[in-house]
Amino acid sequence: MNSSSRAAVALVFFFLSPSLHVAQTQSKTDNTSPSPSNFTAEYPKDRAGVLVENSGWVALSSEFPSKTRTKGAIAHSLTYGAVAGAVISEYPGLHAKLQIETRRPVICICHVLSIPGAPVLVRLHPKKDLRELDGGRLPILGAKIAEVKQSDVVPTEVVQPENTYWLVRATEDLPAGEYALMLGTQNMSIFAFTIANPPDGSAVPAPKKP
């Protein structure tokens, strides 16, 4: 078994292991799925894993939250879920280990047999020495699954040029900041990266909130 095959097998195990992501219910509809597209891009066929294009293909490492907390947890508990609580996942470090300058990067999920959910690009929020992912509000009245806050989901287009390969790209240039690829909005393991301002200091303005 060559190195690419071993990496693919390991990545599939990581994606599908039930202890590493929150199981989705059959009745749950994911309304944050990216739109199908027909964009084309070159991608590496000799590598396995999650990679981002940045003057060449660079591997993205998976990160798990160092802490997950619930805002309004007491009210949520005392009212048996009638009052929703907000789930916040914290990832160590103000910035991701990988920093890129490409404003509209292409991400390749390469040589992977299957993934647990639709690829989703999200924004993270820097706070002191960590980055926060807003998991939105816990569903009320007994539901057990939270998912990423809709306003933090970056509009993307996705193509599957061939079996076991997915390409993901934002629909427009992104401002500098903290981002991550998620495989399903209910999976709190992420593939994070930072879009940094170029050396000349020019910046893409952040989109205005509606």
CA distances from 54 to 62, 131, 137, 153 (A): 18, 22, 34, 22
Q: Phi, psi at residue 87, to the nearest 5°?
A: -95, 125
Q: Which residue has the higher pLDDT, 7 or 33?
A: 33
Tell me the backbone φ, ψ of residue 132, rounded to 5 degrees.
Answer: -110, 140
Is residue 136 included in any domain, yes or no?
A: no
- Let me know: does 116 contact 184? Beta carbons within 8 Å: yes
Determine the average pLDDT of the residues in 127-135. Answer: 90
DSSP category for residue 27 = T
This prediction's pTM: 0.72
Q: Which amino acid is at 166?
A: W
13 found inside a domain: yes
Does any domain span residue 52? Answer: yes
Tell me the two tokens of residue 95: 């910035």
203: in domain: no
Kindly report the length of the chain.
210
CATH no. for residue 156?
Answer: 2.60.40
In the numeric block, the tokens 């000349």 are attached to 200
Instruction: Tell me, yes or no, whether 184 lies in a domain.
Output: yes
Q: Which domain holds residue 122?
A: 3-17+46-65+91-130+147-195
Identify whether 105 is part of a domain. Answer: yes
- The 10s digit of each residue's pLDDT in 157-168 is 999 999 999 999
Residue 81, in any domain of the structure: no
User: What domain count does the chain have?
Assistant: 1
CA angle centred on 52, ends 49 and 54, rounded to 5°: 145
Residue 155 lies in a domain: yes
* Residue found by looking up tokens 């003057």 in the block: 55
SS3 content of the chain, % helix, strand, coil (to 5): 10, 35, 50
- Decide if pLDDT at 171 tops 90: yes
pLDDT of residue 106: 96
What are the distances in angstroms from CA 104 to CA 30, 46, 108, 133, 172? 24, 23, 13, 21, 7
